[in-house]
Amino acid sequence: MVTALLLLSACSDKNQTAEQSLPQEKPPLQAISLPLKNPSFEESDQFVKGWGFSQHAGEPAYEVSIDTSDSTDGKHSYRIERKLVQAWGMINQWLPLDSAVGKSIKLSAMIKSEALGPKGFDLSLVFRKANKKFISEIASEIVTGSHEWQRLEVVAVVPAKTAHLQVTAVLNDAGTAWLDDVQLTLIDKQ
CB 134 within 8 A of CB 142: no
Domain assignment present for 41: yes
Rounded CA-CA distance 184/23 in Å is 33
CATH of the domain at 170: 2.60.120.260
Domain assignment present for 55: yes
| Alpha helices in 89-143, H assignment, sequence order | none
Q: What is the pLDDT of residues 1-58, one digit of tens each?
A: 444 444 444 444 444 444 444 555 655 567 788 889 999 999 876 678 889 998 898 8
Instruction: Give the largest Cα separation in the chain, rounded.
Output: 95
More confident residue, 13 or 178: 178
Q: What is the pLDDT of residues 80-105, one digit of tens each?
A: 999 998 899 999 999 998 789 999 99
Mean per-residue pLDDT over the chain, rounded:
85
Number of domains in the chain: 1
More confident residue, 68 or 26: 68
Domain assignment present for 153: yes
Rounded CA-CA distance 174/87 in Å is 10
Domain assignment present for 19: no
Domain assignment present for 67: yes
What is the pLDDT averaged over residues 54-72?
A: 89
pLDDT at 180 over 90: yes
For residue 154, the model assigns a pLDDT of 97
Rounded CA-CA distance 190/188 in Å is 6
Percentage of residues of the chain with pLDDT beyond 70: 83
User: Which domain does 166 fall in, by range?
Assistant: 27-189
For residue 4, the model assigns a pLDDT of 43
For residue 23, the model assigns a pLDDT of 52
With bands split at pLDDT 50, 70 and 90, how would you rate the model's confidence at 189? low
For residue 169, the model assigns a pLDDT of 97
pTM of the model as a whole = 0.80
Domain assignment present for 20: no
Domain assignment present for 5: no
